Amino acid sequence: MTMLWKLATFILLPVLAASVAGNNAPTVRPDGKYEICSEGIRGYFIPYGASLSNLFIHDIHGAERDIVLGFDNATTYSTSRLHPHLNGVPGRYANRIKNGTFEIDGTTYHTDLNDNGGLDTLHGGKNGWDYRNWTVVAHTRDSITFSLVDEDGEMGFPGQVVSYVTYTLTPFQWHIRMTAFATTKKTPIMLSSHTYWNLDGFQNPSTPLALDHTLHLPYAGFRPEVDNILIPTGYILSNKQYSVNDWWTAPKPLGANLSAAELRGNCGWNCTGYDNCYILNRNHAESLNWDAAPVATLASPWSGIQVDIYTEQEAVQIYTCNNMNGTLPLKSTQGFLSSPNNSTPRRPRTTPKYGCVVIEVEDWIDGINHPEWGRQGRQILGPGTGTGTGGQGRMCLRRGGVLGGEGRGMG
């Protein structure tokens, strides 16, 4: 699977070219992180979960911002109980599986029940791929590749799967390529990147929240209906224009509808916010030429940083960090060490509720349990049947304001 992320700030700063640290030799930092870089962008990655740990880009104020969540030290990921799938690769099946069960060729399989008190499987179970140590098989100045062998029966899934994830940085661009091969049996495979974004690096003096970030999903006219624990019912709902789930008409802030009665319960029982799968309603030509237009655009009006996401996948899960409660610490590269100004108290150096947003690019959630959707050919793979699907993305800089324009999500 390949994914393309295009991140942009709205003004070109001459200092950007000088912001990239390092030389022509790849480096492993004292904190256990692997650094890669290119013009205007640098990132740190770790073997645990094949995870992104830091992503740096300059903003319109001339400051370098670390715009993803994480821990300061690589060893913390495997020891902290606060680790919420931080920027890793969920697998072998991302998102939820109803009752932790599915059927392939008449055989029923039972996977680890690690979510909602044992009612479903989330991101492959308690020992999913983003909780495993991957092997670094290649590392250059601008690229790193991880590999993982997931054995038959692990977390209840049938068959061995071999996977590779390559992260590459080019000028102002971040590319992700994921491949996964079923080597012995048919098995569900659906990969994603579970990156937590705060495009201000928690350094906006007005707010530590991401609610003023604007989101645009120009093709997201439909979504699977879910129950109160976010399991699809099988019905497909339209995202009516100007409703709380309308991200396709035009960009709007993540918090635009926070007080709307319709948003209460939108992300599950007793939950206000978003944890929703949006189906990408592209025509055949647009799906084939998926790298021509982004499926998602996230932008901060304060930092001027913008993320454009391109993919050949067919759905996007949006999670507005509704479950964050101020216990996950910020990194030393984020937030304020003292008061952001003289008139306000010092902020807690932790991640608050709505302090971030996750954009998971994947296929239709729990499609393995809904044959009526016709997704099983993409989500259940066997020996010789190819690899999982994906997309591409890049990061660049441009002048101007928040990119907008109308979408045609229900067209």
Residue 343: predicted pLDDT: 55
Residue 155 lies in a domain: yes
The predicted pLDDT at position 171 comes to: 84
Is 394 domain-assigned?
A: no
Q: CB-based contacts of 126: which residues, under 8 Å, 6+ apart?
A: 112, 114, 155
Instruction: Give residue 344's pLDDT.
Output: 59
Here the CATH number for the domain that contains residue 344 is 2.70.98.10
Catalytically active residues, by annotation: 194, 360
What's the confidence (pLDDT) of residue 1?
Answer: 60
Handedness of CA 200, 347, 322, 155 (dihedral sign): positive
User: Are 253 and 259 contacting, i.e. CB atoms less than 8 angstroms apart?
Assistant: no
User: Per-residue confidence of the chain (411 residues) as pLDDT tens digits?
Assistant: 656 655 554 332 222 223 333 345 566 899 999 999 998 899 999 999 999 999 999 999 999 999 999 999 999 999 998 888 999 999 999 999 999 999 999 999 999 999 999 999 999 999 999 999 999 999 999 999 999 999 999 999 999 999 999 999 988 889 899 999 999 999 999 999 999 999 999 999 999 999 999 999 999 999 999 999 999 999 999 999 999 999 999 999 999 999 999 999 999 999 999 999 999 999 999 988 888 899 999 999 999 999 999 888 999 999 999 999 999 999 999 999 776 666 556 789 999 999 999 999 999 999 999 999 999 999 999 998 866 554 444 444 432 343 334 455 655
- What does the pLDDT read at residue 402? 38
> SS3 for the chain, per residue?
CEEEEEEEECCCCHHHHHHCCCCCCCEECCCCCEEEEECCEEEEEECECCEEEEEEEECCCCCEEECECCCCCCCHHHHCCCCCCCCCCCCCECCEEECCEEEECCEEEECCCCECCCCEEECCCCCCHHHCECEEEEECCCEEEEEEEECCCHHHCCCCEEEEEEEEEECCEEEEEEEEEECCCCEECECCCCCEECCCCCCCCCCCCCCCCEEECCCCCEEEEECCCCCEEEEEEECCCCCCCCCCCCCEECCCCCCCHHHECCCCCCCECCEEEEECCCCHHHHHCHHHCCCEEEECCCCCEEEEEECCCCEEEEECCCCCCCCCECCCCCCCCCCCCCCCCCCCCECCCCCCEEEEEECCCCHHHCHHHCCHHHHEECCCCCCCCCCCECCCCCCCCCCCCCCCCCC
Structural domains of the chain, count: 1
Among 280, 293, 206, 198, residue whose Cα is nearest residue 247: 280
Distant-in-sequence, close-in-space partners of 245: CB < 8 Å, separation ≥ 6: 223, 239, 266, 276, 278
- Kindly state whether residue 401 falls inside one of the protein's structural domains: no
Joined tokens for residue 332: 């030393």
Query: How many residues in the chain?
Result: 411
- Tell me, yes or no, whether 411 lies in a domain: no
Instruction: Report CA 67 to chain centroid distance, whole Å.
Output: 13
The confidence score (pLDDT) of residue 411 equals 54
Range of the domain at 113: 2-381
Q: CB–CB of 294/51 below 8 Å?
A: no
How many whole angstroms separate alpha carbon 56 and alpha carbon 67? 6
Does some domain include residue 398?
A: no
Q: Which of 142, 131, 160 is nearest to 51 (CA)?
A: 131
Q: Residue-wise over 365-399: b if at least 16 C-beta within 10 A, else e?
A: bbbbbbeebebbebbbbbeeeebbbbbbbbbbbee
| Pairing between β-strand 27-28 and β-strand 34-38 as defined by DSSP bridges | antiparallel
Distance CA 307, CA 39 (A): 17
The whole-number pLDDT of residue 29 equals 93
The pLDDT of residue 410: 57
Sheet of 357-362, strands arranged across: 196-197, 357-362, 315-319, 275-279, 222-226, 232-238
Handedness of CA 70, 73, 77, 82 (dihedral sign): negative
Residue 158 near residue 380 (C-beta atoms within 8 A): no
0.85 surpassed by pTM: yes
**Could you tell me if residue 390 is inside a domain?**
no
